[in-house]
Amino acid sequence: MKFEHGCDRRGRHAMKMMAMMGGRFGGPFGKGGPFGEDGPFGGGSGRGGRGGGRRGGRMFAGGELRLLLLHLVAEQPRHGYDLIRAVGDLASGEYAPSPGVVYPTLNLLVDEGLIAEEADESPRKAFAVTDAGRAELTGKDADLETILTRLKALGEQRDREESPPVRRAMGNLHAVLRNRAMTQGFDTETAHAIADILDDAARRIERL
Task: Tell me the domains of the chain and their CATH numbers.
Answer: 9-42+163-207 (no CATH), 64-161 (1.10.10.10)
Helix (H) or strand (E) holding 141: helix 141-161
**C-beta of residue 149 within 8 angstroms of C-beta of residue 157:** no
For the chain, give the longest Cα–Cα distance.
82
**C-beta of residue 92 within 8 angstroms of C-beta of residue 48:** no
Q: What is the pLDDT of residue 38?
A: 41
- Please compute Rg for the chain using Cα positions: 25
Q: What is the pLDDT of residue 28?
A: 45
Give the span between the Cα atoms of 116 and 133, in whole angstroms: 10
Q: What is the pLDDT of residue 178?
A: 82
Q: What is the pLDDT of residue 7?
A: 45
Count CB-CB contacts under 10 A for residue 46: 19
Query: Which DSSP symbol is given to 33?
Result: S
**C-beta of residue 142 within 8 angstroms of C-beta of residue 81:** no
User: Which SS3 state, helix, strand or coil, does residue 128 take?
Assistant: strand
Give the CA distances from residue 170 to residues 26, 68, 159, 162, in Å, rounded to whole numbers and listed in that order. 16, 38, 16, 11
What are the 10-residue block averages of pLDDT along the chain, 208 residues in total? 45 48 44 43 39 53 94 95 92 88 95 90 84 96 94 75 70 82 84 88 84
